[in-house]
Amino acid sequence: MKHFESRDGALYAEDVALERIAAEYGTPTFVYSRAALTEAHAAYADALAGRDAMLCYAVKSNSNLAIMNVFARLGTGFDIVSGGELARVIAAGGDPAKVVFSGVGKTRDEMRAALTHGIYCFNVESEAELHRLAEVAASLGKRAPIALRVNPDVDPKTHPYISTGLKCNKFGVPIADAHRIYLEAAKLPQLEIRGIACHIGSQLLDPAPVAEAAGKVVALAEALNRDGIELRHLDLGGGLGIRYDDETVPATRDYLAPLLAVLAGRKERLLLEPGRSLVGNAGVLLSKVEYLKRGEERNFAIIDAAMNDLARPALYDAYHRIAEVRPRGKADIYDVVGPVCESGDFLGRARELAVEQEDLVAIFSAGAYGMTMSSNYNTRARAAEVMVDGESVHLIRARERIEDLYAGERLLP
């Protein structure tokens, strides 16, 4: 993580010491680097230079308004999966005309809001959704722009919980049925066919499955063209992984090269929906050691961050590197755990750390699926978020107050 490095024996975010951030904003706190966000975006822009393409940032990966605004200023579109995420796009200064709306369970209210704001495209994920969208569009006197999200039955070689392109997954329509459904959609005057969408999973490190899926999408596009259905775009999703531990992660250009080769010579605009690869390694979770506890079989470093702040280790058994902000004392092996009342509340197992009570630690690669998956379990206030920009630090989300957590609740009379 280039913008989170050690200087003079202590960790920095860009030009700001993490110790300073902890002193000013407390812990746990998510700390993001604006430079890291900008560089990750530039890697996509460089790889796509010279072709008609639109990046649609996957809001689910990190929906903080300041982060979304950074991308909006860079001209990105947005991939959303709820009406709430559409509201965030607008609040962050994003352009609804650059929004694609994915997700298997869109409600009528969400469809109305998206149509009213004039989004670029709905990624339709079932025949039932297709007909509901046509009804909603008719009620508003509008035409709904659509792409069918097709399920190509390609193994993305990733964790089963974040695989989305196999026959057993809930996402999309089987590619074998897609041609028929497109012909059905073409008969509905309330719908405007714009493209095909496909997304096979997340934390992808091998470009071959994406290129394979792209080949199937191109074959479908050619079949539709023969039937008189002209497409404006092909949406090949996101999914490029990041380095959490010792993974070999291809450069963005190298990852996209096989996909672009499949699309060579085609006139349709290319849409991509990156998320994790834009924000994952642009953030750390800063936390404090509350206690060091020695057991018969294991030692525990009990920190003030927990599974409610970063759910990925408990949910996926995911690995996040954990480092001392300022190493000191004798190193030992610890399970790094939080205060939540669950045995599954761990951030890392068997980590070598040189820490003492009340020292700071940084949990790396926390920019994606950290804050967005956090909760108030055990009535814990969610963490603060700050953005570092060179020597400046900006509070981009205040720490929740406990009283806010039950402000909407009422006692019985």
Which residues does the annotation place in the binding site for pyridoxal 5'-phosphate? 239, 273-276, 369
Which residues define the annotated binding site for substrate?
A: 276, 312, 316, 342, 369
Clarify whether 56 is annotated catalytic: no
Q: Where are the alpha helices (DSSP H) in 16-159?
A: 18-25, 34-47, 65-73, 83-91, 108-117, 127-140
Exposed (0-12), middle (13-18) or buried (19+): which is 66, by Cβ within 10 Å? middle
Chain centre distance of CA 324? 26
CB 28 within 8 A of CB 305: yes
Return d(Cα 191, Cα 279) in angstroms, integer: 34
The residue written with tokens 């196999």 in the block is 166
CB 249 within 8 A of CB 201: no
Beta strands, E only, 242-329? 269-272, 283-294, 299-303, 322-324
Q: Where are the alpha helices (DSSP H) in 122-228?
A: 127-140, 175-186, 208-226
CB 307 within 8 A of CB 313: yes
Q: Which residues are catalytic?
A: 341
